[in-house]
Structure 1
Amino acid sequence: MGQEVVIVVREFDAEKDCLGVEEVERRCEVGPSGKLSLFTDLLGDPICRVRHSPAFLMLVAEMDEEKEIVGVIRGCIKTVTCGKKLSRNGKNGGNDNTPLKPLPVYTKVAYILGLRVSPSHRRMGIGLKLVSRMEDWFRENGAEYAYMATEKDNEASVKLFTDRCGYNKFRTPSILVHPVFAHPLRIPKRVQVFRLHPSDAETLYRRRFSTTEFFPRDIDAILNNKLNLGTFVAVPSGSYNPESWPGIERFLSEPPESWAILSVWNSKDVFTLEVRGASRVKRGLAKTTRIVDKAFPWLRIPSVPEVFRPFGVHFLYGLGGDGPDSVKLIKALCGFAHNLAKDRGCSVVVTEVSSREPLKSGIPHWKWLGCAEDLWCMKRLGEDYSDGSVGDWTKSSPGL
């Protein structure tokens, strides 16, 4: 009989484990053919799930004898909105004539990110060990739910979490990707774009979107982070003095008929991505667009940047708006973000939105680069620690 393989799961040690983790990452082919690799696991970084989370952990699985790292997992805990409750304004809950106001219900959600197991050591229960140890840490730190994201067609990952770890299929958001062209996009003259001060952005987000599912309670820390490149609001031209923002209180009390908002996160300074598995035909077509665009720049050909080598990304988050022209305004904002990315040397802009998001039709994207349906799975870890009661969040219907 062969000697039993002993796998030790322990905390990541930056001084001695970096090379081993990099080797595991290299061996694991991540991302579907022709798509942006690492998106599913690293989209969390732009909204501060790991590097800017107050509670995070990284574990490695190591062969006891050889001291070879054969698996890795990352996780963190954030406080986010899981629902809403109605409350009356005024002291002591108000009176019967006081209008009801929706308030966010917060809970601690744990995120599982970057689960990797070397291909030569799969089907040995290593992934299950890593997830179990990470969940123990989640519970110790008061998380009520654990969540993970994967490609919808990643059968091995889906089966591990739903069949063996007790997770439920929860949401299917869309990852929308748009290449950054060699020429800037034209912003319609009928649209005004204002950059908000972080405090104004926080006020707007909290007043209008705090009851939105997954809204982070520490939105102020995100907006003030050095990787945040700004929050921008688009309104129809003529709504305000074109030279100055009217102020957040006036905007909220007298909003224009239509408006849109988004924030931009600089992922370029955190990690790079690349397209893997694209066919020679797609590579050739992409190169052709660049050649033609360079030869005839006045035609403004929508050329594909070099995405088959590591490149930088800007992540668009906090997308929202209101009014009959909000779709057109979010499209203009995406064009503004495209030009910002061009000026900063990024090759791609990307966002992740609910599959039911009304503004989705206004977000420019290329289908072959993105993912129409990502898959989020969630598990309830313990008792209800949330600020209020929404029942079991894993059984709730999707919000926007």
Structure 2
Amino acid sequence: MIEYRLATREDNQKLLDLTSNSGMAGNMALRIDRFPNFFALNKLRGKTYVYVAIEGSTIVGSICVSDQEVYINGNQTPLFYISDFKVAPSHRNMGIGLQLTNEVVKYLESKDADFAFLNVSKGNKRPFVFFSDRKNYPDFENIGIFNIYQFIGSNKKQVHSKYQINQAIASSEILQFLNNYYSKHELASVIDNNKIEKTQLYEVREGDQLISVMCLIDTMDLKQNVVIKMQWHLKFALSVLNSARTFFRLSKLPLEGEPIKMLYIKYFAVKSKDPKLINELISLARRITFQKGYAFVSLSLHEKDGLNQMLPKGIRFTFQSVGMLVSMKDSKMKMKGIKEGIPYKDYSIV
């Protein structure tokens, strides 16, 4: 018999086991491990509840829901982020996924929730089944594709530039700059000190005016991305790059089944849309990645974000995911504004 309840700290190892046995299907099969503490990443997501399905002493399914405060149509609005939706391969097609989502819906109803968001790998159709045809509520809607760029770490020498990039510390000025920038994006989290306290901050100024802020975060102690299956041409490309990495001063790239050592560009706020400045910020992030012995630095942008066309075209890999959003109160005008705007998602916490 399957039982459903909220997870406790004592469930940590069982949740880690479930995660290790449950990959994400898609154009590239990925597993996101959470060693050593499954619950640690949730602190970055916001107040999070973890629902589990248990058979005997084994956790055979999970789903998380996190309370976040985000910008929708320029206004601060509650958003509920649904993640870690997993069912053990041995227990699929038994209704467990549906019942787990029922637990989340009951929680959302208790919070009088409107907007809920989930993210799936492009090509992964399975979650759509569990969130469709639910009575009394609209279906989740596709709000577009997110491009997840992974730039290879590089020790290429810095060229002379008119811009000076300096390391910075968290300040009210930086928080205001970031919130002013991201308030123009849909679903971007309201940024406070907790969001940037564990990041490396870099700023660019013209005179006294702040024109750019980049935040790097290392989440390897919270999650580890493992590619469990990749297409043959990616395997070939990685093999070629690894054989030539010393000559080109590039980071060592992971093989199939190995954890991907990765930094994330958590925030990339550029007031001056100068491709040279954007290139120099990415180049700095790549040097830091190389110096740490990591493989990639990752940046995610919605397909409609103009920065997509300004990023350096050098060696990089691009993966895609799909953003799915529902308005449980059928707030049509707000949904329309979100679809017409540029959504944002922080992939360091996915």
TM-score (norm 1): 0.73
Task: Indicate the SS of the match to 1:21.
Answer: helix
Structure 1 match to 2:346:
none
The corresponding residue for 2:47 is 55
Q: Which has the larger radius of gyration?
A: 1
For 1:106-185, what aligned pairs fall within 5 Å after superposition? 106-164=76-134, 166-181=139-154, 183-184=155-156
For residue 340 of structure 2, give the secondary structure of its aligned residue in structure 1.
Answer: coil
Q: How many residues align?
A: 333
- Sort the Cα spacing of 1:326 and 1:281 in 2 relative to 1 into closer, same or farther, 3 A: closer
Change (3 A) 1:51 1:364: farther
Please say if residues 34 and 369 of structure 1, whose CA atoms lie closer than 8 Å, have aligned partners that are also in contact: no
Shift of 1:142: 4.5
Q: Is 1:67 the counterpart of 2:37 in the alignment?
A: no
- What does residue 195 of structure 2 align with? 222
Deviation readout 1:274-313 (Å, 9 max, x if unpaired): 222135664455244333333xx3xx25565225311332
Q: Which residue of the other structure, out of 327, 335, 346, is the alignment partner of 1:393?
A: 335
* CA RMSD, 1 decimal: 3.1
Aligned counterparts of 2:312 and 2:278: Cα–Cα separation in 1: 10
Structure (1 or 2) with the greater strand fraction: 2
Q: Which residue does 1:339 correspond to in 2?
A: 287
Q: Distance in 2 between matches of 1:339 and 1:139?
A: 47
CA separation of 1:69 and 1:37: change in aligned 2, threshold 3 A: closer
Tell whether the 8 Å contact from 1:307 to 1:347 is kept in structure 2 after alignment.
Answer: no
Give ranges in structure 1 of 5+ residues lacking alignment. 1-5, 85-104, 241-245, 253-258, 385-389
Would you say the 8 A contact 1:107–1:144 is kept in 2? no
- Shift in Å at residue 365 of structure 1? 7.0
Identity %: 16
* C-alpha separation in 2, matches of 1:201 and 1:11: 37
1:14 aligned partner = 9
Question: What is the letter of the counterpart of residue 167 of structure 1?
Answer: F
Q: Deviations over 1:316-339 (max 9, x none)?
A: 13223234x522211210111111
* Residue 277 of structure 1: aligned partner: 229
Q: 2:178 aligns with which of 196, 205, 227?
A: 205
Aligned AA for 1:229?
Answer: Q
Deviation, structure 1 residue 36: 5.1
Which residue, 356, 361, 377 being the options, matches 2:324?
377
Please point out which of 344, 352, 358 is paired with 2:306.
Answer: 358
CA distance in 2, matches of 1:38, 1:370: 18
**Conserved? CA contact 2:289–2:295, under 8 Å:** yes
**2:108 match: secondary structure:** helix
Match of residue 32 from structure 1: 26
Q: Distance in 1 between matches of 2:106 and 2:29?
A: 33
Q: Given the two structures, how large is their TM-score scaled by the length of structure 2?
A: 0.83
For 1:125, give the aligned amino acid.
Answer: G
Q: 1:195 to 1:147 in 2, by over 3 A?
A: same
